[in-house]
Structures are given as structure tokens and as C-alpha cells.
Amino acid sequence: MITLLHPELLFDKQKIYRLPKFVGKIASKQPDTAIKMLVVYSQAAQLLAESNKVLLDNLAKACKLNTDNARYVNATCELELLSEWEKRYPNALILLLGDISFDAKFQQVKVNELKKIGQSNLLKAPPLEQLSQSKEGKAELWRLLQIHFKLK
């Protein structure tokens, strides 16, 4: 008999993606300077829906980043402190999507605010679900990303 990991998805026709668990699971603790944007989102499901993955991919492309320069992390599955991310991704913007507050430093950043805390540049935006449905939310996030990546 075959045991299914997610039997509720057996007849679901929506394409889903399981992202590799990069944070906390990397064998090497060497800094990854190629990563320019670390996107931290929070959702109950471990799987990222196709529409959300496309949104994040398009966001990275608009910032002139490729898939090797951006990482997506589900904070409900992979908790790390800001200090760990600073060491592992020293050149990255940490984009917090939603209420990511397991590190006290994350609570210092307000929604739609770009802030430097320690070595890190943090940007907090609305949750993925809200962002995907809000043109105003996307526009404000894009404005802040243009400032950070000097795209204007």
C-alpha cells in the first residue's frame, strides 16, 4: 500500500510547488552572496500555489533578479532568527510578506516600510494572498523595491 504525504491534494487540479527547504537545511554554512532577495512568507500549507509562485517569480524578474538570486522561505516551516539570515545571506533584501514576527527585530518594521536593522535591509509587505488581489498593494511594494534595487 502506498502512503500519500498529502492525500487531500490527490484530486486537486491546481498546480502546486514544493520549494526546497533552503533555510536551516543547507549543509554548508558558508555565506551565499549570490542571493539578493530572501522572500519570507507565511502560510499554513507547505506547498506554494502556482499563482503565488508566479507572482514571486515575476517580482524577482522585475527587480532584474534571476532564480539564482532569490529564495522563497515559508516561515511557518523554517524558523530562523534574523541574525542567522544575515550570516547566510549578507547581501540580501529580506522581504517579509505578512505577519512574520517570530524574531523581535521583525516587529520593528511596519507594513510597506523599508528599514535597515543591523546588517539587513528589511521590507515588510502584506501577506501573499492579500498582495495577489490588491493592485494598490502591488504598486506600493513595487515602489519600495525600485528604491532598494535602484531601478529608477
Q: Would you state the pLDDT for residue 139?
A: 94
Is the separation of the CB atoms in 125 and 97 below 8 Å? yes
Secondary structure class of 57 (helix, strand, coil): helix
| Rg (the chain; Cα; Å) | 16
The pTM of the full predicted model, rounded to 2 decimals, is 0.77
Q: Would you state the pLDDT for residue 123?
A: 93
Reference 73, options 103, 55, 97; nearest CA is 97
- The 10s digit of each residue's pLDDT in 23-71 is 444 445 678 888 999 999 888 787 888 889 999 999 999 999 988 899 9
Is the separation of the CB atoms in 128 and 97 below 8 Å? yes
Separation CA 16–CA 46 (nearest Å): 10
- The 10s digit of each residue's pLDDT in 64-109 is 998 889 999 888 877 677 788 888 888 899 999 988 876 777 777 8
Q: Is the pLDDT of residue 21 over 50?
A: no
